[in-house]
Amino acid sequence: MVDCSHANSKKDHRRQPAVCRAVTEQIADGSRNIIGVMLESNLVAGAQKLTDREHLVYGQSITDPCMGWDETLVLLRELAAGVRSGRRRTPVESASVTQFCE
């Protein structure tokens, strides 16, 4: 599982797409070591302070800065394409249950 936020993006939510695209490239190249990604995303990019409850922006984080939904959607589509490409490169070998029980 790769966290595309926090340390991998140097705590800058605007760097998450670059991290995610690097992971997508590894998956597309056939890596089977990656089981998923974590993205910090919300409807609206960025973050806001919880100081004035009357003027909060709906869909924007009040904790860590996040990517907006539009950018997230693009990355999810790119990830899906990368997974499809990687699966074509390195198909999973099927194994019978008895092979694991021996």
Q: pLDDT for 26-35, tens place per residue?
A: 999 999 999 9
For residue 63, give the nearest of 80, 31, 41 by alpha carbon.
41
The pLDDT score that the predictor gives to residue 101 is: 47
- pTM over 0.85? The answer is no
Its domain, for residue 48, covers 2-101
| Regions of the chain where pLDDT drops below 50 | 94-102
Dist CA 22 CA 82 (whole Å): 11
Q: Note the pLDDT of residue 102.
A: 47
- The total number of structural domains in the chain stands at 1
